[in-house]
Amino acid sequence: MSSSSGGFERDAGAGTVLMLGIALGTITLVVAAALFSAAVVGGARAGTAANLAALAGADALRGLRAGDACAVAAAVAARNRAEVALCTPEQEEGIVTVTVYASAPLLPWRASAEARAGPPQSHFRGPG
């Protein structure tokens, strides 16, 4: 009998260590999923802000909206909780390229996106 009770004493606490390992693994997976989700949301927010800012800037460049193309793009980006990092208007072609940074929740870095907008290409326009 002493040999069987000695076996139980050696295994004492093994279940606790196993459960702690499983709990730590689960917490790690949940945190990784939350960070991944935050990165996806931040990227989508930056992409949306860049698209809207580029469209507004292109409208201003073509005279459809009052103001400087980059100032208009920056204002639209700010309304979408983003910041314009680079704005390049191409006067001759009526195209505005905008790069924005948007804060991503839970992440130590900011998400970025670039968009380009301008008039439709000539083969998309109607005859005439």
43-101 confidence digits (pLDDT tens): 999 999 999 999 999 999 888 889 999 999 999 999 998 999 999 998 877 888 889 98
pLDDT band at 128 (very low <50, low <70, confident <90, very high): very low
Of the candidates 98, 109, 97, the one whose C-alpha atom is nearest the C-alpha of residue 42 is: 109
How far apart are alpha carbons 43 and 101 in whole angstroms? Answer: 9
Does the model's pTM come out above 0.85?
Answer: no
Q: What is the pLDDT of residue 7?
A: 55
The pLDDT value given to residue 119: 80
Q: Tell me what pLDDT residue 8 has.
A: 61
Average pLDDT over the chain, rounded to whole?
85
Distance linking the first and last C-alpha atoms of the chain = 101
pLDDT digits (tens, 9 = 90+) for 100-114: 988 877 778 888 999
Q: What's phi and psi for 9, nearest 5 deg? A: -70, -35
Q: Which residues contact 91 (CB under 8 A, 6 or more apart)?
A: 61
Higher pLDDT, 4 or 20: 20
Chain centroid offset of residue 74 CA? 18
